[in-house]
Chain A
């Protein structure tokens, strides 16, 4: 039992991890085929995992409905929505349009429910950004002040009309003999200090990712199998 629960997964992890890492350096056909095979296995396993998710959703929500827990009506909506999409999808043969080119019922559900619902959720982000900018973005220190000034410049520079005002109306073109537009300042801010900071974070993240991968491949880190040692 311990073998199946601990040693076998660790062994599989070590073998697959090492082989996949080395595959990058071996240019043979066998190596490429093996990589393709492993990718296929990943796709197959991930599809089985979808079943896990499906079971989890079903269990959590039916339990809520059975026990009439607070908010159980939402669970009913989840189940109904799920069933509606699946049944309509089957009836339409998974096609978005009918043979004569009109939207199928599945296509209608997709275009008239999923699209606006998702777009709405994403659009809320804009409102939250505005609210957070007003409430939290304060020049409480010199550092915060620099951050604030930069943010304002980038925000303004991202609007084409500001460039029109800057270059066309205010006539600010030449700074010490160099033609500078608002977009140039924004590009510099994004491409130089911002990119430098991001690369710093990226280096750290990449090294951390390699170290974590090594720990997993060599079985040093095994908590993901459940528990510590």
Chain B
């Protein structure tokens, strides 16, 4: 056994890449539909927040991610927007990441079209503005000044929905879907902590543990975590999407990594005492 494990430890890492590739691609073509998905308390909290707001509440959705995180965050954005439009809330969308502008516009217009939401009356897309945290500070002072025109170049002040929204504090909810910074932490530090509005959001798997502390501290309500969180949200709104479809691949990927960790340790212990061991 020992020579086998020694070989295993010395194997080219590209074999591992291949295994993971197969584990992820296989369920894409052959659906496994693994059971067991259940809404976690954090995702349920976001859902309840949107669900229980009075119809017509003003909600700002900030797309703080770029195409790199699209597989994780676009399903979250789609599910949340579908829910917001279904509840007939007024949605203002924007982004703090320049490379996400086009992607965000696509998601907003697609979900709005599904719900027959009218541009300017039910939703507005402001686009991106440089400045990172400074954009949040400027929006807290005057959104019309900060974004004089929307993403398509229309006067923001001329859009019927925007007439009643001038400051960040006038929103009933701000949702930041963030892959990093500027993102949820920026919105909390420069926005909700200073100007007191309700915050929620979603983030990628790698950031969930960091952002969870804001939920614990009461600085935000609920948190959608990664593709799994998106799948849970899709389940809550009864409309399956990309996240539900990707969960099998995620599950197999996780199991493979656990198997690799266990295998690596077995090999380590078997070869430890011998000469040339790892």
Contact = CB atoms under 8 A, between A and B. Distances in A.
Interface of A: 24, 32-33, 35-36, 39-40, 42-43, 46-47, 96, 107, 110-111, 114-116, 118-119, 121-123, 126-127, 129-131, 133-135, 137-140, 148, 151-152, 155-156, 158-165, 168, 183, 187, 190-191, 194-195, 198-199, 202
Interface of B: 13, 16-17, 19-21, 24, 34-38, 40-41, 66-71, 99, 102-103, 105-106, 129-135, 137-138, 141-142, 145, 194, 205, 208-210, 212-213, 216, 228, 231, 247, 250-251, 253-258, 260-265, 268
Nearest to A197: B209
A152 B261 contact: yes
Nearest to B66: A118
18 contacts: A43-B131, A96-B105, A111-B102, A119-B67, A119-B68, A126-B24, A127-B20, A130-B17, A137-B261, A152-B261, A156-B258, A159-B250, A164-B34, A164-B35, A164-B36, A191-B212, A195-B212, A202-B213
A170 B161 CA distance: 53
Given A36-B137, A115-B70, A199-B213, A133 B251 contact: no
Could you tell me the dominant secondary structure of chain B's interface residues? helix
Given A115-B70, A127-B16, A164-B34, A42 B263 contact: no
Nearest to A110: B102
Most interface-central of B132, B141, B257 (chain A CB within 10 A): B257
Contact of A122 (B34, B41, B69): B69
Contact of A114 (B99, B255, B268): B99
Could you tell me the dominant secondary structure of chain A's interface residues? helix
Given A40-B134, A135-B13, A162-B36, A155 B257 contact: yes
